[in-house]
Amino acid sequence: MKKTIYLILLFTIIGVNKMAAQKVFSTAFQGQASIKVFVVEYENQADLKVYKVPNQNQIGKNEGKWYFTQYSNQADKIIYFVKYSNQADLKIYFVKYANQAGWINKSKNTFIVLILEHNIEFYNF
């Protein structure tokens, strides 16, 4: 049991440090996406505040600064925007300024790292 907890912590720490780029591609097909995203109306409803950067060189280390790519093979994350909040893995709020971007719900940060870096899939039954 201790080994399992230790390994989960180790992978989480490594994953957070490895996840440097935030290049995102928005797909029209849910089956192609790594993460299902819902855009909320109000900042306090979000897990992550996202700032869309105009240039790829402005992205940061998993801090909510996303660069949307033109092609899926250029992206680190492939996302799908869902219609309803209960369908989403992640709820985001788009902010106007880069210094406003960041995680509100830190537990979702770990969850997203597990999905992206370790190819863990979660299913709703």
Domain assignment present for 125: no
Q: Could you list the residue range(s) of the whole structural domain that residue 73 is in?
A: 2-114
Domain assignment present for 119: no
Residue 9 has pLDDT above 80, yes or no: no
Encode pLDDT of 33-78 as tens digits.
Answer: 989 999 999 999 999 999 999 988 888 777 899 999 999 999 988 9
Per-residue pLDDT at 106: 82
Q: Is residue 26 helix, strand or coil?
A: strand
Contact 111, 16 (CB under 8 A): no
Domain assignment present for 40: yes
pLDDT band at 123 (very low <50, low <70, confident <90, very high): very low
Encode pLDDT of 13-26 as tens digits.
Answer: 444 433 445 899 99
Q: What is the dihedral of CA 85, 54, 114, 29, to 10 degrees?
A: 50
Q: Which residue has the higher pLDDT, 28 or 9?
A: 28
Per-residue pLDDT at 20: 42
Domain assignment present for 21: yes
What's the structural domain count of the chain?
A: 1
